[in-house]
């Protein structure tokens, strides 16, 4: 029988501090007044996929787990691109995610669905007052770069610039001139191309924190509730192999077998061919084929013996 756990007190969100989060969710409805063009819908789909890649390949696989190496200038590019998702600073994201792995599905986990329920793990911990600050103690390897600390503080700069760019493109493509960005032509791109894709991106990312610790199948014994799911891997470009990831978090790839589609991994591989990133980490055979850590140690010895024989 499981022993009872003492949960941490988690404070409820204050409406006045979360008004902007609500407005972002309502702004796509502006399209009811402006309509939306084919260009706006293409922009919406493109910005979802494009930014999901930087969320998973940047915030997650680089800043949180350091699963590959890169140069200082490209590290800044990764942080900037990831922050266009409007999911706060790269250092904020990485700090909380590292805590999630350390305490997965125990009371100190910022977003355990098992302990704190679906809504809290999905969005409550983000809009609540308890996790607003960046815990710099857990990310000493990142705080030594002042440009990252700056970008973490001014995390609204990248999404605002992207929003302006999308509106401008809307003006040009839908309205025939840059000045048309201040008309319905620009606003329909802003509402659908930018804001709708931002909201979809929020909930695609949040679903990893919530339902990825509930629905799907666990392949490995990780001591938490993490699961693997193909359809979540598709909408999150590879993050759906979450049980794999909790079992062996240092790996750059989260699909451990060729049939586990992991689009972020494929794109990162292409980046490495161009020398933008390097030292990508794969999955050793003893990890892939074992069920738990004890089995992995035994299998590793066995494979080493076979090699030396
Ligand atoms: Zn992780
Ligand atoms: Zn997790």
In tens, the pLDDT along 226-277 reads 999 999 999 999 999 999 999 999 999 999 999 999 999 999 999 999 999 9
User: How far is it, in rounded angstroms, from Cα 115 to Cα 159?
Assistant: 33
Please give the distance, rounded to the nearest whole angstrom, from the Cα atom of residue 197 to the centre of ligand 1. 23
**Ligand with an atom nearest the CA of residue 62:** 1
- Quote the ligand 2 centre to 226 CA distance (angstroms): 6
Give CA 40 to chain center in angstroms: 24
Instruction: Report the chain's mean pLDDT, rounded to a whole number.
Output: 95
CA of 16 to the centre of ligand 1 (A): 31
Ligand 1 centroid – CA 56 distance (Å):
9
- The owner of tokens 């689009």 is 263
Q: Which ligand is nearest to the CA of 67?
A: 1
- Ligand closest to CA 96: 1
Q: What is the pLDDT of residue 270?
A: 98
In this structure, are residues 85 and 160 in contact, taking their beta carbons and an 8 Å threshold? no
Residue 5's pLDDT band (boundaries 50, 70, 90)?
confident
Ligand in nearest proximity to the CA of 232: 2
What's the CA dihedral at 232, 138, 225, 111 to 10 degrees?
A: -70
Q: Which ligand is nearest to the CA of 226?
A: 2
Whole-angstrom distance, CA of residue 180 vs CA of residue 189: 11
How many whole angstroms from 15 Cα to the centroid of ligand 1?
A: 30
| 33 Cα: distance to centroid of ligand 2 (angstroms) | 39
Q: What is the mean pLDDT of residues 19-42?
A: 96
Q: Which residues pair with 277 in a beta bridge?
A: 70
Q: What is the pLDDT of residue 305?
A: 92
Place of tokens 């999150």: 236
Nearest 5°: phi and psi at 241? -90, 55
Q: 172-176 long-range contacts, Cβ below 8 Å, gap at least 24?
A: 173/37, 173/39, 174/37, 174/39, 174/40
Look at residue 2 and tell me whether its pLDDT is greater than 80.
no
Distance from residue 104's CA to the centre of ligand 2 (Å): 7
Residue for token digits 């960005």? 181
Distance (angstroms) between ligand 1 centre and the Cα of 18 equals 26
Which of these ranges, 50-59, 105-114, 186-195, has the smallest mean pLDDT? 105-114
Residue 191: CA count within 13 A, CB half-sphere: 19
* Residue 184 and residue 34 in contact, taking contact as beta carbons nearer than 8 Å: yes
pLDDT at residue 15 in the model: 85
Mean pLDDT calculated for residue range 180-209: 96
% the chain with pLDDT above 90: 92
What is the Å distance from ligand 1's center to 103 Cα? 12
Q: Which residues contact 146 (CB under 8 A, 6 or more apart)?
A: none
């Amino acid at each position: 029988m499981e022993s009872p756990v003492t949960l941490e007190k988690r404070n409820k969100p204050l409406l006045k501090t979360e008004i902007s989060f609500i407005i972002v969710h309502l702004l796509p409805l502006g399209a009811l007044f402006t309509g939306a063009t084919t260009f706006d819908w293409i922009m919406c789909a493109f910005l979802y996929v494009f930014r999901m890649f930087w969320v998973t390949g940047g915030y997650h696989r680089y800043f949180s787990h350091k699963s590959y190496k890169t140069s200082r200038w490209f590290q800044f590019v990764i942080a900037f691109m990831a922050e266009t998702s409007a999911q706060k600073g790269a250092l904020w994201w990485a700090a909380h995610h590292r805590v999630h792995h350390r305490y997965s599905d125990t009371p100190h986990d910022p977003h355990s669905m098992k302990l704190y329920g679906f809504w809290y793990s999905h969005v409550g911990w983000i809009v609540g007052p308890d996790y607003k600050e960046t815990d710099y103690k857990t990310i000493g390897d990142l705080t030594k770069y002042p440009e990252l600390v700056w970008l973490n503080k001014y995390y609204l700069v990248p999404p605002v610039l992207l929003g302006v760019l999308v509106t401008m493109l809307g003006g040009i493509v839908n309205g025939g001139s840059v000045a048309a960005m201040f008309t319905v032509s620009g606003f329909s791109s802003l509402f659908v191309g930018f804001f709708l894709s931002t909201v979809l991106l929020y909930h695609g990312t949040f679903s990893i924190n919530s339902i990825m610790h509930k629905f799907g199948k666990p392949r490995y014994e990780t001591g938490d509730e993490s699961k693997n799911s193909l359809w979540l891997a598709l909408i999150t470009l590879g993050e759906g192999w979450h049980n794999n990831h909790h079992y062996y978090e240092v790996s750059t790839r989260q699909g451990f077998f060729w049939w586990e589609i992991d689009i972020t991994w494929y794109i990162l591989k292409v980046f490495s061919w161009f020398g933008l990133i390097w030292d990508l980490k794969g999955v050793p055979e003893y990890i892939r084929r074992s069920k738990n850590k004890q089995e992995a140690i035994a299998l590793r010895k066995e494979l080493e013996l076979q090699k030396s024989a």
